[in-house]
Chain A
């Protein structure tokens, strides 16, 4: 508790004990409400069959550990494939998005460059209205991208907000650096990759994370554009087998590798799918967290 209240400015009175207790309790309760479901889910996915059966459902108290559910999932069935699809779409999508966004953000960041105003206007205008679900669906369909992984990437590849955040960051960098490099004959490409990007690691990481999380979590795109179950990303599998509770027990679903061996209880497998959807996000975002405020706020203010 004392760590909560160090470095109090001299003029501030010390809060009363009940006030401190109330504050700590509130904060602790908020943390518990967020962390508790994750704890239960992770614990259940790691519990041996006996523990799940004796709990009659989700497991609250650890009773041994078993990786059977994960072994089943990654035995080569639907979930394995969905994880690969999601990883692939996320990796390629983030790359496409970052490249397009960084290039355009830099291209529009030089004051007075040719046509930068109408081009920027065309970017900003996308904030004001969405094209509409049905016309976009028809376009994707006309382009022959139904059941293609590109349908999960290209329609959402450029996010105007991310672009504006990056552009604002680039415009805040000292202009003289680029100018002097230009005098020395450097191309814009060289200036961007050798000078500007190394100074923009934080904002690039944040924007990259936003894109990556977007692709990893994408659900609606896949509902619209992917009819072929074999191409489903993880979020659709999560919905089908966990949220809607479709049974995963048949060998065609889990994969042939586990046929004949004892498989984990259905609930543990379901929770393992949840964990697989959860873990990448949970582990990547703290690495970038320290840049959030800077990236988000600078972008918001400077746009």
Chain B
């Protein structure tokens, strides 16, 4: 079934040896009943298992309940994409319109513009953001003093914990038309910077913001992979006369390869999720032509028109395409001998 191995491709955990759960004073339950095996049925009866495990079940209740209410229920709520929903009549009373909402969506040029912007941003992220944490991790890994490393890691991780409002505000204060650099330029008789409002600079600005915020945090997974590389390989390569660049090419990068491939594939499955807040916050400054992504489109679609079904249908299309992409990405991961986000049954 779908056990998830989220973000690395390290060896999967060895299936734990069958453990026996003590039966609270009763002799331990003989053969361990892990899923799928016929021994499930030969285990103790349902009432006996209920009596044994009711506390565990009770413990999962709050979390499962929250997910049921706030994840699964609204997922069902997507049926309003097939309606002309209005809040007074509710889901049950609103008229059904079949695929009319889809037709309207697919003929809306603003939707395709949002799709285009989302894909452009994802592509730019992939080319310009993705390699940076790898390079930064290799650089950090070469710092030998533990204290220096800790200080540097503390600094580069930090912006990950800032909100997008904060990051955008900081960028404005430094690079904006009324920001620090513009202020210096103006005092020296030059025109202020305009990149924070220039649609042509939009991709550059948002990518810089992503790099500033998350490139450092992205190194964590690569640093762990680097730490797992067998140090003896480096030593024997050095003894054989390989210089530092050849060692990086032949040992370090192959050591990172599985993680890189896995993250690339995951990124592929996540291509429609470029984020909401960063674009929402800068939509007015740069204009919706360049900054409208799918999520902001869904939001404004509903907010401006008050048409919930129009927003829901865009969300549903995005969700379904996203799901297909994730499943495809996983298939690809399995094909390449990686584990993907879940293991095969």
A residues bordering B, Cβ < 8 Å? 3-9, 11-13, 15, 23, 26-27, 30-31, 33-38, 40-41, 55-58, 60, 99-101, 103-104, 106-108, 110-117, 119, 121-139, 141, 154-158, 160-161, 163-164, 171, 175, 179-180, 182-183, 185, 187-189, 192, 213, 216-220, 223, 235, 238-239, 242-243, 245, 271, 274, 277-278, 281-282, 285-286, 289, 292-293, 296-297, 299-303
B295 touches A133 (CB 8 A): yes
User: What are 12 residue pairs bridging A and B, where the CB atoms are less than 8 Å apart in the complex?
Assistant: A13-B243, A40-B173, A56-B187, A100-B66, A116-B56, A132-B298, A135-B77, A135-B78, A154-B69, A217-B165, A271-B173, A289-B154
Cα distance A161–B5 when bound, in Å? 10
B3 at the interface (CB under 8 A from A): yes
Stretch of B103-111, B122-130, B145-153 lying at the A interface: B145-153
Known: A34-B212, A40-B180, A57-B183. A100 touches B234 (CB 8 A): no
Assess whether B190 is interfacial by the CB under 8 Å rule. Answer: no
B22 at the interface (CB under 8 A from A): yes
Q: Do A124 and B342 form a contact, CB below 8 Å, given A99-B62, A239-B281? A: yes
Say yes or no: B74 contacts A131, CB within 8 Å: yes
Number of interface residues, chain B, beta carbon within 8 A: 125
Report how far A11 CA is from B239 CA in the complex, Å. Answer: 7
User: What is the bound-complex CA distance between A278 and B158, given in angstroms?
Assistant: 10
Q: A103-B60, A301-B10 are in contact. Are A220 and B277 (CB under 8 A)?
A: yes
Q: Does B189 contact A (CB under 8 A)?
A: no
Verify B22–A34 contact, CB threshold 8 A. Answer: no
Of B46-54, B113-121, B197-205, B249-257, the segment with at least 4 beta carbons within 8 Å of chain A is B46-54
Cβ-defined contact, A301 with B5, below 8 A: yes
Cβ of B154: which chain A residues have Cβ within 8 Å of it?
286, 289
Question: Across the interface, which residues of B come within 8 angstroms of A242, CB to CB?
Answer: 169
Contacts of A107 in B (CB 8 A): 56-60
Contact with A along B90-106 (1 / 0, CB 8 A): 00000000000000000
Give the distance to chain A from B293, nearest Cβ to Cβ, in Å: 13
Question: With A127-B341, A135-B75, A293-B223 given, is the CB distance from A106 to B59 under 8 Å?
Answer: yes
B216-260 toward A: CB 8 Å interface, digit per residue (1/0)? 100011011000000100110011000110000000000000000
What is the interface of chain A mostly: helix, strand, loop, or mixed?
helix
B25 contacts which chain A residues (CB < 8 A)? 183, 185
| Residues B143 and A27 in contact, CB atoms below 8 Å apart | yes
- B28: which A residues are within 8 A, CB to CB? 179
Contacts of A180 in B (CB 8 A): 22
- The complex places the Cα of A117 from the Cα of B298 at a distance, in Å, of 35
A133 touches B63 (CB 8 A): no
A40-B173, A133-B299 known; A27+B152 contact, CB < 8 A? yes
Assess whether B170 is in contact with A179, with CB atoms less than 8 Å apart: no
List 10 tightest A-B contacts by C-beta distance, closest first: A135-B77, A104-B63, A107-B59, A217-B163, A132-B315, A131-B74, A107-B60, A135-B74, A188-B55, A57-B183
- Cα A303 to Cα B169 in complex, Å, equals 36
Q: Point out the residues of chain A lying under 8 angstroms from B16, CB to CB.
A: 111, 171
Query: In the docked arrangement, what's the CA distance between A135 and B309, Å?
Result: 9
Q: Are A278 and B3 in contact (CB under 8 A)?
A: no
Q: Which residues of B contact A163 (CB under 8 A)?
A: 63
Residues A58 and B173 in contact, CB atoms below 8 Å apart: yes
- In the complex, whether B67 has a CB less than 8 A from a CB of chain A is yes
A135 contacts B157, C-beta separation under 8 Å: no
* Closest B residue to A210 using CB positions: B161
Give Cα distance in the complex from A299 to B220, angstroms.
13
Question: Which B residues are CB-close (under 8 A) to A55?
Answer: 183
Bound together, the chains give a CA A108 to CA B4 distance in angstroms of 14
Residue pair B8, A41 in contact (C-beta under 8 Å): no
